[in-house]
Amino acid sequence: MGTILCPSRVKTSLSEGALRPSDLLAQFKQIGPQTRRHISAAELLDNTVELIREMVYTSTMAQSSLPDLLSEEDMQVLLQATGCSSEMQRPLCKTGCLSERYRSFTGECNNRQHPKWGAANTPYSRWLPPEYEDVRGVPRGWDPEHTYYNYTLPPVRLVSQDVLYTHNENISLDSSLSHLLVEWGQWIDHDFALTPQSPSTAAFRTGADCTRTCSRDTPCFPIQIPLSDPRTGIQSCMPFFRSAPSCVGSEAFTGATPHHHREQLNAITSFVDASMVYGSSSPMAAALRNLSSPLGLLALNDQASDQGLLFLLVTVCLWVKLPVFCCLGDSRANEHLGMIALHTLFLREHNRLVRELHLLNAHWSPDTLYQEARKIMGAVHQVDTLLHYLPRVLGETPTSLLMPPYRGYDPEIDPSIANVFSAAAFRFAHVTVQPMVARLGPGYSLAPQHPPLPLHHSLFASWRVVQEGGIDPVLRGLLLSPAKLQMPGQMMVEELTERLFQAQGGMPLDLGALNLQRGRDHGLPGYSSWRGLCGLSVPNTTSDLAGILGNPGLAEKFLLLYGTSQNIDVWVGAISEPPLPGGRVGPLLACLLAKQFRALRDGDRFWWEREAVFTSTQRAQLHTVSLSRIICDNTHITRVPSDPFSRTVSPEDMLACSHPLIPHLNLSAWKEPDTGAVLLTLIPHLNLSVSP
């Protein structure tokens, strides 16, 4: 993959190529060869079993006997024939000092007894059994006439229009939190979850193109446009692909073992390990390194300069009339300007750490420098997320109650990302996104050469970073801009519900509808079931729901749409709860987020607070980690807030990078003696004579 960069061609290709929004959405879920092999094998297995079911069912067998259709022996033959058997093999865990010192790229063998827990290319965990439309794993709402608790499910686009839609101008700003907090949520989400969509783009039975058909036929699960929708007459549906199945626990197992259901795959490691910077496989990690460097550097693009600093590597990711260039690595870096800025920032930070460590430990090999910097980077993300990000989301008091102090690694805890967390709970921040992307010049002033942008003009627009001032204006905008405040009647801005990918041509998508459809695709139970799991009251009446939501009008709207609180999609129900004191999420989201982050912390053998991972001196230094310091060290920005996640009202409140409240990470705690040099100093004092 070359280090090419042609910004003008990128811009032209987007304007002339008529990319469909679904094309761009697919680009955000680019996966590696191992993941492609896995989901192709899983899809082949599911399709094979479905054909067998259909042939038998249409001939002699009654539907009630379908669970006994395939024996365990039959399934083993199919697993072998489709390639799923090789994907399900238990990995062999290495022993030795390196395996104790550094985590694997894939996340395998983090837990020695359960080497697949938290690893890439394993299914999401389930905290509640899925509720599909049938035993085969058909999504909720597949049949519009199918009833749940005596009510049909409303079209997701109708829910988006009635509950979520918010005019860009009709928003309230958060008085306490910066937009960098919103961006960090998406950034860290890209560290532990990536759900690949089906490898097929055409319907299994009919061969219809999923981007053009409005018929439901796996993997096509199009979002229908209701008659009341403003888009009626323009389009009948929005394209939607089902998430790819996993070989482990895929819907095919329902034939042999009814307790198994269709499960979706997490293509990356579940751990907070900065895998969006380094990759979740050895081949990707190698592709991102500068292997010609004697220092263990990551590769950056040397053909374009950000005032002397370098950009990400890029490669051709799409061909339309002209090539479309994307940043190399995690494909989601290309989603919008904020993601590109953070990816660039942390690649630069890795290289800065490597050079500093080399000055301290000239005897370290390139691999040691690379791995030690990677280890520090993982710890930086753990510190910033658990100590700084999460308390602002949950609130300080709920955090102290829901996140008890760290007590060490627990090998009985599964750190895998839960399906409900990935497909619903951690999408809460979508309702805190501002409709405008602020870009600011030096001194945090408006600059005519890079003005503020409507959000949809910043999507898939990596060329803007190169041509319009680099990453500094974007980061300044994130630091000074407040987050959007989530309130009833002010849920999701129209930039996301009506203009998603509009700038690239084609009919825009609706992020709210996509979120709801994804939850149904994954068989997530309804809102009330999750409140029950968390030990919260379950609403049975309109007044119950109104009391929980603190809004009788919203409660009535929900029950008019869904009929019963049992049917409310968990994502939209959870984001509708009023926030806990000092936080930005309600009781249900606080429960689900804390449950997941506790598992990520306590089930990680390489968690930064574990005594065997860093020395006490190193841990003390890591505790002082500051995102503001990282911005100072890797950009031309000279003034930053002491707390980058809190709202800074005025540029005058920013601090100079030299201020004591913006501390440096003192890497002297990582200095090791050169054993060779030590031995040379000891030789004169050693009695090396050999007795006869």
Q: What DSSP string runs through 305-372? A: EETTEEE--EEEEEESSSEEEEESSSGGGGSBHHHHHHHHHHHHHHHHHHHHHHHH-TT--HHHHHHH
Encode 395-407 in three state secondary structure. CHHHHHHHCCCCC
Tokens of 580: 């806990």
| Predicted pLDDT at 250 | 41
476 located within any domain: yes
Q: Which long-range contacts (CB under 8 A, 24 or more apart) does 676-679 make?
A: 676/363, 677/363
What is the model's pLDDT at position 677? 52
Known binding-site positions: 430
Burial class (CB in 10 A: 0-12, 13-18, 19+), 635: buried
Give just the sign of the alpha carbon dihedral 360, 361, 362, 366: negative
666 CB neighbour count, 10 Å cutoff:
12
Is the separation of the CB atoms in 236 and 214 below 8 Å?
Answer: yes
User: For 5-41, b where at least 16 C-beta lie within 10 A, e where not — what string?
Assistant: bbbebbbebbeebebbbbbbbbbbbbbbebbebbbbb
Q: Which residue from 509, 513, 475 is spatially nearest to 630, judged by alpha carbons?
A: 475
In terms of residue numbers, what domain contains 477? 1-10+154-193+268-526+569-692
Helices 337-360/472-480 angle, 10° precision:
110
Structural domains counted in the chain: 1
Cα separation, 495 vs 514, in Å, equals 14
DSSP string covering 192-211: H---PBPS--B-TTT--BTT
> Each residue of 648-691: pLDDT tens digit?
999 999 999 999 999 999 999 999 987 655 444 444 554 444 33
**90: in domain:** no
Which helix (H) or strand (E) segment holds residue 177: the answer is strand 172-178
Task: Kindly report the number of other CB atoms within 10 A of residue 443's CB atom.
Answer: 12
Looking at residue 300, what is its pLDDT?
81
Tell me if 634 sits within 8 A of 424, measured CB to CB: no
Q: Is the dihedral of CA 394, 398, 401, 406 positive or negative?
A: positive
The answer as to whether 71 is a domain residue is no
Residue 407 near residue 135, CB atoms below 8 Å = no
- Single out the residue of 405, 401, 421, 413 nearest to residue 589, CA to CA: 421
CA gap 319, 129 in Å, rounded:
41
Q: Is residue 81 part of a domain?
A: no
Helices (H), 111-241: 156-159, 179-192
The separation between CA 473 and the C-alpha centre of its own chain, rounded to angstroms, equals 24
DSSP for 669-690 reads GG----HHHHHHHHGGGS----
pLDDT score, position 16 = 43
Mean pLDDT by runs of 10 across the 692 residues of the chain is 35 47 68 92 90 71 54 87 90 90 96 96 96 91 95 97 95 96 96 94 89 92 92 88 85 41 94 96 92 89 74 57 60 85 94 97 96 98 98 96 96 98 97 96 92 89 84 96 93 93 74 98 97 97 96 97 97 97 97 98 98 96 96 97 96 96 96 66 47 38
Q: Is residue 259 part of a domain?
A: no
CA distances from 319 to 1, 53, 668 (A): 16, 40, 48
Task: List the structure tokens of 644.
Answer: 């980058």
Q: Hey, how many other C-beta atoms are within 10 angstroms of the C-beta on 115?
A: 18
Question: Is residue 80 in some structural domain?
Answer: no
Give dist(CA 326, CA 336) in Å, integer: 11
- The one-letter amino acid code at 467 reads Q
| 3-state secondary structure (DSSP) of residue 430 | helix
Give the active site residues: 190
CA–CA separation, 214 and 220 (whole Å)? 8
Residue 210 lies in a domain: no
CB of 111 within 8 A of CB of 605?
Answer: yes
Q: Which residue has the tokens 């000055």?
A: 359
Q: What is the pLDDT of residue 60?
A: 52
Output the CA torsion sign for 264, 269, 272, 276: negative
How far apart CA 23 and CA 332 sit, in angstroms, is 13
Task: Name residues whose C-beta falls within 8 Å of residue 31's C-beta, 6 or more positions apart in sequence.
Answer: 39, 194, 196, 267
Contact in structure between 434 and 494 (CB atoms under 8 Å): no
Kindly calculate the radius of gyration of the chain based on its CA atoms and give it in whole angstroms.
26
Cis bond upstream, residue 226 (ω within 30): no
301, containing H or E segment: strand 301-306
Question: Is there a domain that residue 316 lies in?
Answer: yes
CATH number at residue 172: 1.10.640.10
Q: Angle at Cα 1 formed by Cα 459 and Cα 20, nearest 5°?
A: 30
Tally of CA atoms within 13 A in the half-sphere of 181 that contains its CB: 33
Phi, psi dihedral angles at 319 (to 5 degrees):
-120, 125
pLDDT digits (tens, 9 = 90+) for 45-104: 988 888 887 777 665 554 444 455 678 888 889 999 999 998 888 999 988 889 899 999
Place of tokens 């409303």: 154
Binding residues for heme b: 430
